[in-house]
Amino acid sequence: MEINWDLLREEAKLAMAKAYAPYSKFPVGAAALTDSGKIISGANVENASYGLGLCAECSLVSELFRQGGGKLVAFACVDGHGNALMPCGRCRQLLFEHRAPGMLLDTVSGIKTIDEVLPDAFGPEDLEIRK
């Protein structure tokens, strides 16, 4: 599947513009290509109770399922200036859960696989193996 990284970054920027970040003033947008060829996106949504805020990756995965599910093939995340962001550890785990084999991420140090940014990850397959 062809990945248009420029388009993914642009979709992430459009999502970032809709972020709700009144407390941190750090809007984040994310976009991903699914295995069905759709592009989905999400933005961070903060909360006055700081710990309850949702990362852009969380809203992206919610959008994935709102649109019928699937697997993530390629992912991009940007800050308020449109610069690439590396997902935090929690969000890497969330992306890993919904990855297509060989999922690619646009990171601050170039294109990497999900396995490179979350080595030795624990995922759904591990639950099946350890039953």
- Output the pLDDT for position 128: 81
| Known active-site residue 97 | no
Rounded mean pLDDT for each run of 10 residues along the chain, 131 residues in total: 96 98 98 98 97 96 96 98 96 97 97 96 86 74
| Residue among 10, 11, 46, 57 flagged as catalytic | 57
The reported pTM is 0.94
Per-residue model confidence as pLDDT tens digits over 85-119: 999 999 999 999 999 999 999 999 999 999 999 99
Q: Which amino acid is at 2?
A: E
CATH architecture of 5-129: 3-Layer(aba) Sandwich (3.40)
